[in-house]
Structure 1
Amino acid sequence: MIVCPNCKHDNPEGATNCEACYTALPATKACPNCGASIQIDATFCGQCGHNLKPDPSKTPILLHPPASEAVAVPEAASSIGLPPTVLTNPEADLLPTPIEPIVAEINTVETTETKAVEATEPIELAEFPVIPTVPEPSVDPLLEQTPPPSARQLLHLQTNLPVELPSHLQVIHLGKPNDLVAPDIDVSSFPCAEVVSRVHANIRIEEGNYYIEDAGSANGTYINHNVLAKGNRHLLRPGDRIGLGKGDLVTFLFQPPT
């Protein structure tokens, strides 16, 4: 289904204009990973989470020409009477030849003066005062036992119950128990949970940021009362309102750490 950006009407796949208000619909394409229909400007597939951005690290960069290619000396060499030369490795052939260092062997001559120094009595070293060591400052044990800040949470507005988001997961699944994807946040116990799909939405954690995307739910995911198009994701900010399904029956409030 293609959601109209103007009137939020659900249009069939392949439609170019909205059936309700005749607004031009965004173009779609197939996900290269799972084949699901997504928008052209989508950055992530809402069905499988595939990253649609090109990876610049996989673009080959040619820094030097192959060593097998021969490079001819410029024609300026022939103008001064030098024969043309072909270099198989121009960078290596044009470098100056390293000069090996000359090590001269110096015969040590034992003089009478050195013998006289060895025959003398050992020199006594002067005694220096001992510098006392400064003890390291002690650390308050109460500071060492300070727990880390808690993770972000979702506040269920209908029951005013907080739901903590697990910080050790990169992808947090919202939905109800099913045989495909086990939900990390099970909403089946909340009132009006029948409007929520079993695999409804995902929250992804990347570099400390939280992103939410619809996972192909039947009744849609809404951010601040606006529908979140399938294949797109939204950067969550403190105070954002997340609605699972139509009618604003199952609603959460994204909150910072407490």
Structure 2
Amino acid sequence: MIVCPNCNHSNPDGATQCEACYTPLPVMTNCPNCGTAVQEDASFCGQCGYNLNQETSIPTIATPSSSASSPLPATVVGTDEPNTSQSPPDINPVVVEMSSESPVPPDVEEISSPPESPEPASNIDLEKESESPPPPPVPVPASGSSATHLQLEQASLLHVQTNAKIEIPSHLSVVHLGKPGGPIPPDIDVSGFPNSSVVSRVHADIRAEGGIYYIEDVGSSNGTYINHIVLPVGNRHKLRAGDRIALGKEDKVTFIFQLS
């Protein structure tokens, strides 16, 4: 059953509109970790805290460089590596082929290379050719780039009923909304606004994580509504500029989330 956030009427599962007052109903789904019903756009499960937006990382497979996969030619002259063939380690391969046809091996120092044979490349030249080009330098964003500008955006709440603007403290990772007198003092005190009696002393929290803001109801008496849809207790909603936040029922204490 889906309970209407406006009139508390019990609607059948799968309903998208209240049968009694025709209020749009929140779309529910199940947490993949514990199976608890949560709102479809929730970021975290209110029962087990499971991150509903996590993505599976794809492992990166390293590709061997061309220098490791391309062995040096077997006929390179003057290499420092030991020769694994049956020829003596210090004798030129061309000399071995010529000496195999003669009954008496000639002196190695007196045999010169055939004039038509091209001069083999040295090991240093081959290693230079096999080396991969160095990767291009990674550009460093300038101090006035758009990415830096996004990190410096100031979040604020615009009170709809009085048109008063409240800046969200940027040095706090968790900002408490409520009224004085509770176990946790509020960072944003709404007791001075009209109809603040519908707001609990410990009502809701706004969290900043990596430049992204989330709001969650922490067990208020009259609930927290995002764009006229009730936010289940423990569920986090990712705030976007222009979101309408109502603390309590009947839209009496309402704020617009802003980024500037």
TM-score, normalization by structure 2: 0.48
TM-score, normalization by structure 1: 0.48
